[in-house]
Amino acid sequence: MKLIILDRDGVINFDSEHFIKSPEEWKPIPGSLEAIARLNQAGYRVVLATNQSGIGRGLFDMATLNAIHDKMHKALAQVGGRIDALFFCPHTADSRCDCRKPKPGMFEEISRRFSVDLTGVPAVGDSLRDLQAAAAIGALPILVRTGKGEKTLEAGSLPEGTLVFTDLADAVRHLTISIA
């Protein structure tokens, strides 16, 4: 089974320093939905792993998060794409949970649920914590320059072996060409 793990905000959709708090605020980055459809067509199972501390902060509730994800799923379906599973951490940065990236808890749960070793599995993110969570479990960290990606790249200290691409569409072109 081919698997890929994607962060949401800054990778699939535009991010906001004020959080994505409603379906109206969720806007896909050009080419990202088509990139996911291309992954599906190439036989990848596409899994999301996203920190959603806005829940823990009281900025939105589960019904709103579900509505945001419903909008994303419908937009993907319109271009022939799908997300196979969605994992999220609702906790704030000061919580001691194991699921909030950069900790690898969400990745460990993905590994258990899909009964797969994540060594070498591509994991795409725009922040250092995304890359650190991927590296901690042996996945292949991939940085996109969208969202916080440019600042993450400028800050340096990327995990060893991190690949860097302009956006999700660019990363997917590389992945689907290199496995063809």
Residue 130 is among the residues annotated as catalytic for this protein:
no
Residue 170 is among the residues annotated as catalytic for this protein:
no
Using CA atoms, how far residue 11 sits from 41, 55, 57, 164, in Å, is 19, 20, 22, 13
Residue 134 is encoded by which pair of tokens? 């991927």
Question: Are 140 and 24 spatial neighbours (Cβ–Cβ below 8 Å)?
Answer: no
For residues 119 and 22, what is the distance between their CA atoms, to the nearest angstrom? 35
For residues 51 and 87, what is the distance between their CA atoms, to the nearest angstrom? 9
By annotation, the residues acting in catalysis are 7, 9
